Amino acid sequence: MFALLKFLLGWGSSKYSELSKSDSSSASSVSSELSDNIKHLQQFFDLTPDLVIRRIQMEQVGTAASLVYLEGLVNKDLINNNILHELIHRGAIDNEIPEVSLGSVRVVSKWDDIENSILQGDSVLFINGQSKVRIYETKGWPQRAVEDSRIEASLRGAHQSFVETGSQNIALIRRYIPNQQLKIKEITVGERGKSKCSIIYLADVAHPDVLKELEKRMKQIDVDAVMNTGELAEFLEDSPFSPFPQVILTEKPDTTASHILQGRYALVVDKSPTVLITPVNFTTFFQSIDDYNARWTIASFTRILRFFALFIALFLPSVYIALISFNYEVIPFQFILSIAETRARIPFPPIVEAIIMEIMLEMLREAGIRLPAQIGQTIGIVGGIIIGQAAVQAGLVSNIMVIVVSSTAIASFIIPIYDMGATIRLLRFPMMILAAMFGIIGIVCGAIVLVAHFVSLESMGTPYGSPLAPMRFPDMKDVFIRIPLWGMNKRPKSTGAVQTFRQGHNSERGGEDS
Amino acid sequence: MKKYAANQITFLQFVFILHGSQVGTGIFALPRILAEKAGTDGWISVILAWCCNLIASVVIIKVFKKYPNDTLPDLLIRLFGKIVGRILILPIIVYFAFMVWNILIATMLYVKGWFLPMTPDYVVMILLIVPGYLVASKGARVLGRYSELVFYMTIWLFLILIFAIKDSHWIHLLPIVKEGWLPIFQGVAATIYPFLGFEILFVIYPFLQKKHLAVRGVVLANTITLAIHLGITLISFAFFSPDGITEYNEPVFNLLKVIEFHFIERFDMVFLALYLFVVTTCWLPYAFGAILSTEIWLGKKNSQAIAAILVVFIILLILLTHPSWNESNKWTQIINQAGIGFAYLFPFLLYIYVGIYNRFQRSESK
C-alpha cells in the first residue's frame, strides 16, 4: 500500500514538480531530535492553523514527546482518554514508551508516511531521542448515520444504505458475506484527493481476468481528486461514447453483496456513498434485489413488465409520431378519425408537439429532484394537472400526445436503476427525430443501430449483451422470468464466475408424507 | 498459428450466421420464380436445392478440415503462394462486395417503393448501411452475436404467415409432379439466389469453436432455411391460384396484405419494416467476408477503415448510378451465375485440388 502510494507520488512528481519542491525532504527519515522534527513539521504544515502539536512530558519515563494531529479529522475522545492520559500518567516498564489502549498503532520513520497519516486523520507521536515515531489511528470526522436509501427504495429488502466512509461501507458489505474468501484490494486514486478505493470480491468465485483489467484501468487514472464513484466510473468504462451505462452504481449493501456473490466486483470509494459494480450486463439493470424477495411468480411478472416498459419508453412516442405523420395506413380507420379529432386544433406537426411535451416533462423531473419533498409535490401538481390540462384546452398539444408522453415517463421510471432509465429517456429523442423524418423505417433503422451497438458493447472485457447476445440459455432463468431460487443452482455465466455452483442440488421438495 | 482464436463463435452463432446469410430479399419473389419454372411442384425444387446446398457445404467443410485455422483467402495463399494467391483472392472480394451491393440495392428499392418514395436513394442507403457498419467493422464474434439475437427477435415474423392458411386451398398443390421432373430441376437452377449464403462458410469456418460440430451446424442452418422457404412457398402456392401466382411480382407481399388484425390494418408494412432486421443478417456476413478477405489481401488488420471504405464506396456508387429494379434484376442474374460457380462448383474443384496438392506434397517430402 505504501509502496503504491510512493509510486503514485513519484509518478506525479513530474507534473507537480514545482509544487512539491518544498517537500523534497519528504522521502528522508525522522531525526532523533524532537525540536528538529517539530521544526520540520511546522515548515511542512505552514498556514495550517488546525494542526495541533501537543507537547507532553511523560511522567514516568521523563522524556519529552509531542503528539501531532489535525484538529477536526480526529476523534478527540480517543486522543484525550486513550492516548494523552495513558502517556502522561501510566507507568512504563524498563524505560519503554508506554502502550496506549488503542487498536491500531504503527511505528514508522519516513516523513512522507507521517505527513500522509496526519492528513488522513491519524495522530503521530514524536519522542525525543528516538528516530521512530508512532502513528495512532484516531480517525474521526463528522459522519452521517446509516439511513434508508433515497433513490433506491426497496420494498422488503434491508433499509440500510452506504455512508461516506469507505471502511464503514466495507463493514456493511462484510456483514452479508462473512467469508474468508471475501478479499479486498486497495488502490489509491487521485494525486491530491488520495481516495482509497477498495475492490471487493470473492476470490474463489470472481474471474481473475476482470480483476486484472480493473486494476490496470484504475492505475491508469491520473486525476487530482475523485469526489464520487460516478467520476471514477467514467474513467473505467469500456466505451465512454456509448449511451448505455456500463457499471452499476448502487447505494445498498444488500444489492452489492448479492452482486459479489454472483461473481462480480464491487468498488468502494472512500468518501462516496455509492458503490460501483462491474462487470455488468444490460439485463442486470432490470433486476432488483426485491425480485428475489418476492414470490417468484410476482417477481417474474414484474420482470416482464420492466422489459415491456423498456419498449414503451423507447419506442412509444416515436411510433406514435411515425404512425400519425407517415404511415397512417397502418392503424385502423376508426382510430385515425379519433386522433384527427383531437389533433384538429393543434397548430404544430406531431414531432414539435411531442418534443414540447417531452421537454416539459424532463424539466418537471429535473425540477423535482432539486427541490425539497414538500415543494416537489407542488411541482407535480402544477406540472401534471395544471400544465397538462391547460395545454390541451389551449390547443397546444393533443390529448393523445399527453397520454403518450405520460405513459412513456411512467415506463421509464419503472426501470429499477436510475442510470438506465435516464439512458432510455435520452435515447427516445433521436428515435423521435428518426420517426419524424423516415416513419417506421426510421424507427427500425434506429433499432438496428441500437441492437448493433448493444451486441458489440463490452463491460470489463465481458459481453454486455449477455445472456441475450451471446445467447446463454442457462442464464435466462433470471432475465425475463425469475425461476424459483432453488432452481438457480448455478451462478450466472455472464459474470464469468469461475466457481459455477452456488448451492447444492437440494431439489428434493418434500413429498406428501414427509 | 491460430490467428482467429480470440474471435471464436459458438455453435449456435455459426448456425445463425449461415442461416441469416441465406434468408434475405430473395424470399419475396421466390414463390413466383418457382411457379414460373416448375408450376405448383416448385416446392419440390426447394427440397432439392436444400440437398444441393448440403452437399456443397459438406464439401467445403471437407476442404477446410485439413486447414482448420484458414479462411478461404488464407488457404489460397497457402496453396498458390503469395502472388497467385492474392490474384485469386480478388474475385472473392469482388463476389462478396457485389453480394452486399446487390442485397442492399434490392432492399433500398423495396424501402423506396413501399415506404419512402420521395426520399433520395442515397439517403435510404445511408439509413440501411450505417447500422450495419457498427457490426461489420467489429469482427466475427460481434457478427455471431448479432445474427443470433436477430434470429430470435424476428423468427415470429415468419410464423405470422401461418395466418394466411385459413384462406388457402391445398387442392392447388395437386397433382404432384404433374409436368414431370424436368421443370422441377429447372426450378432448382433458377432459385440459386434465394438459397445462396452458405458459401459464407468459406470465411467463418475457422472461427467456429467446436469444429467437429460444423457439419451438424450446416445441416441445422440449411434446415431452418428450408423450413422458412418451404413454408412460404407452400403457403403461397395454396393461397394463390396456380396461374394467378405468376402475375404478382412479389407474391409474398400480396400474401401479407391479406393478414390483418384489429389493431393493425396493414400488417405488411410492419412486417416489411421489421424485415429490415432480417435483411441485415443477410448482407452483414457478406460484408464481413469482403472485409476479412481484403484484410488478408492487404496483409494487415484494419477492419474499421476497410468497412468505412466499403460503406462510402457503396453510397458513392449509388449517387453515380441511381440503380433501378431493372438493373437490380440484371445483377441478380449475374450473382446467380457467379453463385453457381463460387458456391457449388468451386468447392469441388478446390477439394480435388487440395487432394492432389496433399498427395503431391507427401510424395515430395518422401
Contact in structure between A138 and A69 (CB atoms under 8 Å)? yes
Q: Which among B119, B145, B280 has the least Cβ separation from residue A448?
A: B280
| Cβ–Cβ contact A330 with B under 8 A | yes
- A322-362 pLDDT, tens digit per residue, is 999 888 888 888 888 888 888 888 888 999 999 988 998 88
Whole-number average pLDDT of chain A: 85
Residues 6+ apart with CB under 8 A from B330: none
> Pairing state of beta strands A182-189 and A195-202?
antiparallel
Question: A455 and B149 in contact by Cβ < 8 A?
Answer: yes
Question: A444 and B150 in contact by Cβ < 8 A?
Answer: no
- Complex confidence, ipTM: 0.93
Please choose, from the candidates B93, B113, B144, the residue with its C-alpha nearest in 3D space to the C-alpha of residue B25: B113
Is residue B355 in some structural domain?
Answer: no
- A139-185 pLDDT, tens digit per residue, is 888 888 888 888 888 888 888 999 998 899 999 999 999 999 999 99
Closest residue of B to A440, CA-based? B273
Give the position of cell 412513456: A408
What is the pLDDT at residue A16?
42
Residues on chain B touching A471 (C-beta within 8 angstroms)? 12, 148-149, 152
CB pairs under 8 A between A and B: 96
pLDDT at residue A508 is higher than 80? no
Most A CBs within 10 A among B112, B123, B265, hence the mutation to make, goes to B265
Task: Report the CATH number that the domain containing residue B272 is assigned in CATH.
Answer: 1.20.1740.10
Question: B149 and A438 in contact by Cβ < 8 A?
Answer: no
Give the position of cell 510512493: A6
- A199-232 pLDDT, tens digit per residue, is 999 998 999 999 999 999 999 999 998 888 989 9
| Cβ–Cβ contact B266 with A under 8 A | yes
Which whole number is the average pLDDT over B149-157?
91
Radius of gyration from C-alpha coordinates of chain B:
21
Residues 6+ apart with CB under 8 A from A461: A209, A210, A213, A238, A279
Residues 6+ apart with CB under 8 A from A11: A222
Fill in the amino acid letter for A37: N
For residues A72 and A140, give the distance between their C-alpha atoms in angstroms, rounded to a whole number: 8
What is the pLDDT at residue A60?
63
- What is the band of A78 on the pLDDT scale with cuts at 50, 70, 90? confident
Question: B150 and A451 in contact by Cβ < 8 A?
Answer: yes
pLDDT at residue A505 is higher than 90? no
Number of domains in chain B: 1
| Cβ–Cβ contact A453 with B under 8 A | yes
For residues A259 and A401, give the distance between their C-alpha atoms in angstroms, rounded to a whole number: 40
Q: Which of A215-224, A379-388, A402-411, B197-206 has the lowest mean pLDDT?
A: A379-388
DSSP structural state of residue B9: B
Is residue B360 in some structural domain?
Answer: no
Is residue B354 in some structural domain?
Answer: no
Contact in structure between A480 and A307 (CB atoms under 8 Å)? yes
What is the pLDDT at residue A158?
87
Which whole number is the average pLDDT over B223-247?
88
The packing angle between helices B267-298 and B72-114, to 10°, is 150
CA angle A477, A478, A482 (to 5 degrees): 85
- A1-39 pLDDT, tens digit per residue, is 444 444 444 444 444 444 444 444 456 888 888 888 889
Beta bridge partners of A468: A471
Is residue B137 in some structural domain?
Answer: yes
Closest residue of B to A439, CA-based? B115
Residues on chain B touching A463 (C-beta within 8 angstroms)? 145
What is the pLDDT at residue B364?
61
C-alpha cell at A85: 492520559
For residues B204 and A33, give the distance between their C-alpha atoms in angstroms, rounded to a whole number: 75
Q: Which among A439, A441, A469 has the least Cβ separation from residue B148?
A: A469
Cβ neighbours, 10 Å, residue A135: 20
What is the pLDDT at residue A23?
46
What is the pLDDT at residue A325?
87
Which whole number is the average pLDDT over B107-131?
90
> Measured over all CA atoms, what is the biggest interatomic distance in chain B, rounded to whole angstroms?
76
- A85-116 pLDDT, tens digit per residue, is 888 776 555 556 667 888 888 888 888 888 88
Is residue B358 in some structural domain?
Answer: no
C-alpha cell at A468: 441475450
Q: Which of B11-15, B93-97, B147-151, B174-178 has the lowest mean pLDDT?
A: B174-178
Closest residue of A to B13, CA-based? A470
What is the pLDDT at residue A490?
85
| Cβ–Cβ contact A331 with B under 8 A | yes
- For residue B26, give the H/E element and its range: helix B26-38
Angstrom CA distances, A490 to A28, A196, A285, A494, B278, stand at: 54, 33, 20, 11, 34
Question: A470 and B276 in contact by Cβ < 8 A?
Answer: no
* Residue B243, min C-alpha distance to chain A (Å): 30
| Cβ–Cβ contact B270 with A under 8 A | yes
What is the pLDDT at residue A185?
93
- B307-350 pLDDT, tens digit per residue, is 999 999 999 999 998 888 898 889 888 888 888 888 888 888 88
Question: A470 and B132 in contact by Cβ < 8 A?
Answer: no
C-alpha cell at B309: 471504405
Angstrom CA distances, B206 to A126, B56, B64, B73, stand at: 69, 17, 8, 12
Share of chain A above pLDDT 70, in %: 90
Which whole number is the average pLDDT over A255-277?
93
Is residue B327 in some structural domain?
Answer: yes
Q: What is the 3-state secondary structure (H, E, C) of A227-291?
A: CCHHHHHHHHCCCCCCCCCCCEEECCHHHHHHHHHCCCEEEEECCCCCEEEECCCHHHHHCCHHH
Residues on chain A touching B108 (C-beta within 8 angstroms)? none
User: How would you class B243 by CB atoms within 10 Å of its CB: exposed for 0-12, middle for 13-18, buried for 19 or more?
Assistant: exposed
Please choose, from the candidates A152, A143, A179, the residue with its C-alpha nearest in 3D space to the C-alpha of residue A254: A152
For residues B235 and B161, give the distance between their C-alpha atoms in angstroms, rounded to a whole number: 8
Question: A455 and B142 in contact by Cβ < 8 A?
Answer: yes
- For residue B126, give the H/E element and its range: helix B121-136
Collapsed DSSP state (helix, strand, coil) of residue A51: strand
For residues B162 and B153, give the distance between their C-alpha atoms in angstroms, rounded to a whole number: 18
Of A66-75, A374-383, A503-512, which has the strongest mean pLDDT? A66-75
Is residue B236 in some structural domain?
Answer: yes
| Cβ–Cβ contact B277 with A under 8 A | yes
Question: B12 and A333 in contact by Cβ < 8 A?
Answer: no
C-alpha cell at A166: 469507505
Q: Which among B128, B146, B270 has the least Cβ separation from residue A455?
A: B146
Domain extent at residue B274: 5-345
Is residue B350 in some structural domain?
Answer: no
What is the pLDDT at residue A93?
53
pTM for this model (two decimals) = 0.88
